[in-house]
């Protein structure tokens, strides 16, 4: 049953549907999940803001706003939207080009980038372009995440050790060189607090994974700094956080120069954000059996980013770790995400001032542990052992993340995904198939014998302008390998789309087969493709009998198209079910049956002319070389039956006088004429087109 598409009004009023369908039984599970996620979200929001070199309050604003808006307008019951490490790194890389970290312009540009990315995501959802996210290879996300993890870990060494750099560092090589050069200048107390935070998180994780290690590490670090007054001894702290609601930001919405500078970064944020969010939502939906609406999710992500930009936050996306916590904590609906954002807001309003003493080195320790966990070694191993194309995309995206500006690394990975998709769809497999031993399925078995008259080809892929050249070349190569082949059956079971270029290719194949004196037939044609063939007159030109169902097509070809003489006298194989009961004759002498006799070496006579000759003053002797059962169904008046096998063995008894040889299509007659000519019969003519031509001329009723 097809899914009804939502109207634009239904998409925009999604919160009404969320509230209307909410049940009291959902409340407990959603509140518990919201509280559990808030415990993780609060420290992550501050830590991820540090990755983007934004003030902690910007991260908290994004955490509150994105969780609420994403939960109300999204589709997934469990996706948790907010700041993420990968998005934070892209934001930093993009903003460093035009502004300095910490400046007012830097913060404003972060808000503008969130709005721009959100508008792009919202537009994709409204115009139902969510399917485009499917074309971004999973390898892009894996490669980018691994590269981003390495960048995050290395960049956090500076605040972890309390290093002070006088020279500017932006790229990975610059950061590594500066860390090595200033390693001896680390601040011992700062380094001790950072190392203790890492150790505490790892120990608590070993005890039980649900213990909020990052939160406890940050709270513990703040207590130590406050109790010992370590901020006076050079330990950098977060500082006072605002204790009010997220304020409305004044954004330069019409600053075209700034928009141009941020466009590449905003596009990268939108692309990787959507890919992350949709892939995370789908992975959880497979466990919860929820049916997702990808376009609604794009609208939710877009509105969340737009709201984050206008409410003094920065770009956000779906978080895998928080989504997993949300699901495992028992979330029932998307209101769990709304509750997590509201709980963070309440926490900021009530005890936000206590966060002032959180040491930045503890945040750095939290981020280093998170970065290590970002690298999915198992998934990297699976991709590495898998298809070469996916491996190349992962490797290139990883290297680009380390060496190029991140927005270009992301876009490069996405372009490679599209290139791989185009490459795969533009070279669909064209396989010759034969029946299996039970005559149930068609299989590709190059080692099995094939029919000398009929080849069956399966096209695995669409016939569109990018693929038709390859398909035509593959079919032509098959014809070149089988120069005597006359008939082609094309199975189009995997062809879902066919444009005019595809129709033109089918015309070319049809023309090539007709040029050989044969024909082409089709089976398992998709109704949509068949409609295209009908609209372009291809169907009518060939005729309905050229488009058969798979369970009937071989029988039809055997009865009406293929030459039974070749099956009986020439082909030693029994390829099809219909071949099994055919008699197979052997010849007492060698004769070439797989090479057509040149037309200029044969004398032919048309059916109407033969009729006149037979009723004239000097009729010729007519010899029918078909089988007796064929002869009994109808023959030329006064014809003598001498089947081809008998003609081969007793051909010397045929009188040396003008003869006309007749068979079904002219093929057996041509071979009999060649045989008799080699034995000295000089006046041998064949009926052009055989009995099929005789019948087509309306002469079949003349039977003696």
Instruction: Say if residues 118 and 302 touch (Cβ distance below 8 Å).
Output: yes
Burial class (CB in 10 A: 0-12, 13-18, 19+), 298: buried
How high is the pLDDT of residue 459?
94
Domain that holds residue 472: 429-579
Residue 160 has pLDDT above 80, yes or no: yes
More confident position, 410 or 599: 410
- Assigned domain for 336 exists: yes
Q: How far is 591 from 623, CA to CA, in rounded Å?
A: 20
How high is the pLDDT of residue 170?
65
What would the pLDDT profile of 355-387 be if each residue is shown by its tens digit? 778 898 988 888 888 888 878 888 899 889 887
| Rounded CA Rg of the chain | 39
Q: What value does the mean pLDDT take over residues 411-417?
A: 83
162: left (phi over 0), alpha (psi -120 to 50) or beta: left
Q: What is the pTM of this model?
A: 0.66
The domain that holds 488 is classified in CATH as: 3.30.750.24
- Assigned domain for 271 exists: yes
Q: Are residues 48 and 80 in the same domain?
A: yes
- Assigned domain for 206 exists: yes
How high is the pLDDT of residue 96?
83
The domain that holds 660 is classified in CATH as: 3.40.250.10
How high is the pLDDT of residue 409?
79
Residue 1 has pLDDT above 60, yes or no: no
Q: For the chain, what is the mean pLDDT?
A: 86
Q: Maximum distance among all alpha carbons in the chain?
A: 132
Residue 256 has pLDDT above 80, yes or no: yes
- Assigned domain for 367 exists: yes
User: At which of 420, 437, 453 does a domain end?
Assistant: 420
Beta-sheet pairing, 434-435 with 81-82: unpaired
What would the pLDDT profile of 339-359 be if each residue is shown by its tens digit? 999 999 998 888 777 777 889
- Assigned domain for 588 exists: no
- Assigned domain for 220 exists: yes
Q: Are residues 308 and 186 in the same domain?
A: yes
Q: Are residues 630 and 496 in the same domain?
A: no
Q: Are residues 527 and 613 in the same domain?
A: no
Q: How far is 145 from 151, CA to CA, in rounded Å?
A: 10
Q: Are residues 83 and 149 in the same domain?
A: yes
Q: How far is 164 from 152, CA to CA, in rounded Å?
A: 18
Q: Are residues 666 and 558 in the same domain?
A: no
How high is the pLDDT of residue 586?
59
User: At which of 397, 420, 443 does a domain end?
Assistant: 420
Residue 651 has pLDDT above 80, yes or no: no
Q: Are residues 575 and 613 in the same domain?
A: no
How high is the pLDDT of residue 98?
73
What would the pLDDT profile of 418-471 be if each residue is shown by its tens digit? 888 888 788 899 999 998 888 888 888 888 888 888 999 999 999 998 899 999
Specify the number of domains making up the chain: 3
Q: How far is 432 from 399, CA to CA, in rounded Å?
A: 41
How would residue 701 be classed by pLDDT, with cut points 50, 70 and 90?
Answer: low
Q: Are residues 574 and 603 in the same domain?
A: no
Question: DSSP string covering 273-310, please?
Answer: HHHHHHHHHHHHHHHHTPPP-HHHHHHHHHHHHHHHHH
Q: Are residues 445 and 413 in the same domain?
A: no
- Assigned domain for 194 exists: yes
Q: Are residues 72 and 126 in the same domain?
A: yes
């Amino acid at each position: 049953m097809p899914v009804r598409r939502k109207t634009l009004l239904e998409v925009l009023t999604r919160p009404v549907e969320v509230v209307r369908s909410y049940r009291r039984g959902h409340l407990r599970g959603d509140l518990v999940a919201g509280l559990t996620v808030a415990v993780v979200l609060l420290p992550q929001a501050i830590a991820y803001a540090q990755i983007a070199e934004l003030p902690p309050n910007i991260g908290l604003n994004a955490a509150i706003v994105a969780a609420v808006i994403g939960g109300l307008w999204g589709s997934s019951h469990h996706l948790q939207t907010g700041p993420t490490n990968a998005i934070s790194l892209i934001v930093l890389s993009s903003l460093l080009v035009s502004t300095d970290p910490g400046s007012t312009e830097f913060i404003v540009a972060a808000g503008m980038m969130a709005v721009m990315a959100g508008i792009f995501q919202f537009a994709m959802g409204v115009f139902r372009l969510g399917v485009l996210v499917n074309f971004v290879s999973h390898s892009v996300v894996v490669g980018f995440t691994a590269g981003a993890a390495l960048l995050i870990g290395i960049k956090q060494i500076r605040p972890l050790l309390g290093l002070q750099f006088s020279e500017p560092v932006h790229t990975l090589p610059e950061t590594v060189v500066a860390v090595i050069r200033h390693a001896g200048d680390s601040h011992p107390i700062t380094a001790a607090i950072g190392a203790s935070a890492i150790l505490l998180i790892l120990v608590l994780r070993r005890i039980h994974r649900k213990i909020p290690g990052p939160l406890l590490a940050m709270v513990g670090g703040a207590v130590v700094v406050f109790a010992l007054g370590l901020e006076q001894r050079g330990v950098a702290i977060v500082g006072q956080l605002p204790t009010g609601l997220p304020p409305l930001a004044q954004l330069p919405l019409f600053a075209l120069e700034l928009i141009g500078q941020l466009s590449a970064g905003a596009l990268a944020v939108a692309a990787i954000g959507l890919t992350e969010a949709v892939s995370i939502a789908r992975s959880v939906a497979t466990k919860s059996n929820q049916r997702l609406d990808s376009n609604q999710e794009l609208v939710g992500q877009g509105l969340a980013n737009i709201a984050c930009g206008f409410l003094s936050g920065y770009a956000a996306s779906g978080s895998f770790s928080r989504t997993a916590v949300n699901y495992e904590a028992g979330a029932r609906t998307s209101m769990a995400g709304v509750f997590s954002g509201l709980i963070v807001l309440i926490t900021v309003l009530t005890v936000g001032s206590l966060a002032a003493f959180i040491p930045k080195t503890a945040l750095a320790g939290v981020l280093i542990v998170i970065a290590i966990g970002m690298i999915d070694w198992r998934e990297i191993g699976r991709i590495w052992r898998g298809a070469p194309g996916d491996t190349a995309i992962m490797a290139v995206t990883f290297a680009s993340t380390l060496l190029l500006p991140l927005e270009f690394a992301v876009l490069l990975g996405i372009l490679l995904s599209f290139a791989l998709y185009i490459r795969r769809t533009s070279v669909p497999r064209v396989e010759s198939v034969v029946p299996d031993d039970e005559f149930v399925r068609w299989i590709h078995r190059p080692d099995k014998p094939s029919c000398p008259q009929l080849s069956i080809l399966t096209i695995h892929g669409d016939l569109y302008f990018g693929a038709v050249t390859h398909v035509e070349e593959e079919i032509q190569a098959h014809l070149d390998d089988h120069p005597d082949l006359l008939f082609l059956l094309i199975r189009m079971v995997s062809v879902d789309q066919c444009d005019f270029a595809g129709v033109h290719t089918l015309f070319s194949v049809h023309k090539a087969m007709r040029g050989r004196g044969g024909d082409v037939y089709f089976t398992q044609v998709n109704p949509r493709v068949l409609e295209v063939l009908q609209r372009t007159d291809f169907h009518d030109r060939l005729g309905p009998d050229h488009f058969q169902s798979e369970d009937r097509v071989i029988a039809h070809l055997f009865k009406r198209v293929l030459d039974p003489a070749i099956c009986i006298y020439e082909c030693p194989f029994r390829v099809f079910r219909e071949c099994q009961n055919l008699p197979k004759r052997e010849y007492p002498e060698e004769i070439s049956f797989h090479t057509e006799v040149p037309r200029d070496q044969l004398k032919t006579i048309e059916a109407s002319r033969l009729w006149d000759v037979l009723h004239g003053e000097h009729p010729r002797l007519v010899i029918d070389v078909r089988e007796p059962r064929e002869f009994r169904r109808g023959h030329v008046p006064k014809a003598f039956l001498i089947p081809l096998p008998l003609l081969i063995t007793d051909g010397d008894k045929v009188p040396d006088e003008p003869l006309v040889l007749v068979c079904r299509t002219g093929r057996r007659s041509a071979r009999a004429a060649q045989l008799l000519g080699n034995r000295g019969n000089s006046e041998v003519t064949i009926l052009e087109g055989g009995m099929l031509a005789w019948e087509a001329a309306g002469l079949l009723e003349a039977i003696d």
